[in-house]
């Protein structure tokens, strides 16, 4: 099993803008569940504490294998969602590890 963690700093600087962007990201990415077969689990959450130092949004997803994660990354539905996500993001970091 591969766990895929992505975190974003949003472009919006005000709380309302961050909340709106986080909602869009959540909708786009969680909407891929059931569309991309390789997703075992996927959730998106907005940061709720220490906004001055924490990143704004996190994705936590699981795939059966690295090949499943690779298939997710290139899937047309993910590519379309990622293009929308990028419109709201200033910076991105990710970690993938075996569980």
Distances in Å between the Cα of 80 and the Cα atoms of 53, 55, 64, 93 are 30, 23, 23, 19
Q: What is the pLDDT of residues 2-18, one digit of tens each?
A: 999 999 999 999 999 99
Instruction: State mean pLDDT over 68-93.
Output: 98
Decide if 52 is inside a domain: yes
Q: How far, in Å, CA of 23 to CA of 83, rounded? A: 15
Which residue is associated with the tokens 């993001």? 89
- pTM comes to 0.95
Decide if 74 is inside a domain: yes
Decide if 51 is inside a domain: yes
The helix (H) or strand (E) run that includes residue 24 is helix 15-30
Domain that holds residue 84: 2-90
Decide if 16 is inside a domain: yes
Q: Contact 47/56 with Cβ under 8 angstroms?
A: yes
Decide if 84 is inside a domain: yes
Q: What are phi and psi of 11, to 5 degrees?
A: -70, -35
Q: Contact 38/64 with Cβ under 8 angstroms?
A: yes
CATH number of the domain to which 43 belongs: 3.30.70.100
Q: What is the pLDDT of residues 37-62, one digit of tens each?
A: 999 999 999 999 999 999 999 999 99
Decide if 79 is inside a domain: yes
Decide if 45 is inside a domain: yes
Decide if 97 is inside a domain: no
Q: How far, in Å, CA of 12 to CA of 10, rounded? A: 5
Number of domains making up the chain: 1
Residue 25 has a pLDDT of 98
């Amino acid at each position: 099993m591969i766990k895929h963690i992505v975190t974003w700093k949003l472009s919006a600087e005000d709380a309302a803008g961050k909340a709106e962007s986080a909602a869009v990201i959540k909708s786009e990415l969680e909407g891929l569940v059931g569309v991309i077969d390789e997703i075992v689990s996927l959730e998106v959450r907005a940061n709720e504490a220490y906004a001055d130092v924490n990143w704004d949004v996190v994705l936590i997803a699981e795939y059966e294998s690295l090949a499943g994660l690779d298939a997710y990354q290139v899937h047309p539905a993910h590519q379309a969602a990622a293009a929308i996500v990028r419109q709201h993001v200033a910076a991105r970091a990710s970690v993938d590890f075996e569980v």
